[in-house]
Amino acid sequence: MDDLYREVIVERYKNPYYKGELNPHDISFEDENPLCGDHIRIDLTVDEQGKITGARFSGHGCAISQASADLLLESVIGKTVDEVKTMNKQNVLDLLGIELGPVRLKCALLPLKVLKAGVYGLGEASDSLVDDSEEE
């Protein structure tokens, strides 16, 4: 269980690299997990080729959601918007390097949900953006 709080997770929670806001930005989206009140906003800057040049997150949440946001944004800088659209649950779990039960999975996936809703330009973030199991 304490594996859940791997050093990298606690470290990124306490000292995130990508926390903050980008103004101006090209894409911004925010959403929350109504179960726990975790709230995340993600701002992106994107160049003419559709490549992500800057990313920041703000809001509040548990160590899992905050570390997930920080590691996720680190991984998408330099990627294209189209590449982000193909990211899924497994990408996040690989970044975190942990196994998660269903409740904490929602914490971990909130940043990806917000990110994908943002790049798709959706009005609303849906679980189907991150949970491929529902389509099986």
Partner 1 sequence: MQQTNFITGLDVEQIRADFPILNREVKPGVKLVYLDSAATSQKPLAVIETLDLYNRKYNANIHRGVHTLAEEATAMYEDARKKIAEFIKARSAREVVYTRNATESINLVTQTWGRANLNAGDVIILTEMEHHSNLVPWQMLAAEKNLRLEFIPVTEDGLLDLETYRKLLTLGPRMVAFSGMSNVLGTITPVKEITALAHQAGALTLVDGAQLVPHLPVNVQDLDIDFLAFSGHKMCGPTGIGILWGREALLEAMPPFLGGGDMIKKVYLRNFSSNTLPHKFEAGTPSIAEGIGLGAAVDYLTGIGMQAVETYEQNIIRYALDRLSEVPGLKVIGPEAGKRGGVSSFTMQGIHPHDVAQILDSAGIAVRAGHHCAMPLHDKFGLPATTRASFYLYNTHSEVDALVEGLYRVQKMFG
Instruction: Give residues in contact with partner 1 (CB under 8 A).
Output: 1-2, 4-5, 10, 13-14, 35-39, 60-64, 66, 104, 107
CB of 61 to partner 1, least distance (A): 6
CB of 64 to partner 1, least distance (A): 7
Q: Is there a contact between 116 and 128 (Cβ–Cβ < 8 Å)?
A: no
Distance CA 136, CA 122 (A): 23
CB of 38 to partner 1, least distance (A): 7
Q: Which is nearer to partner 1, 22 or 114 (CB)?
A: 114
Distance CA 92, CA 100 (A): 11
Nearest Cα neighbor of 7 from 67, 66, 58, 91 is 67
Q: Which is nearer to partner 1, 81 or 107 (CB)?
A: 107
Distance CA 42, CA 28 (A): 6
| Helix 63-76 vs helix 89-96: crossing angle, to nearest 10 | 110
Q: Which is nearer to partner 1, 13 or 29 (CB)?
A: 13
CB of 63 to partner 1, least distance (A): 5
Q: Which is nearer to partner 1, 61 or 118 (CB)?
A: 61
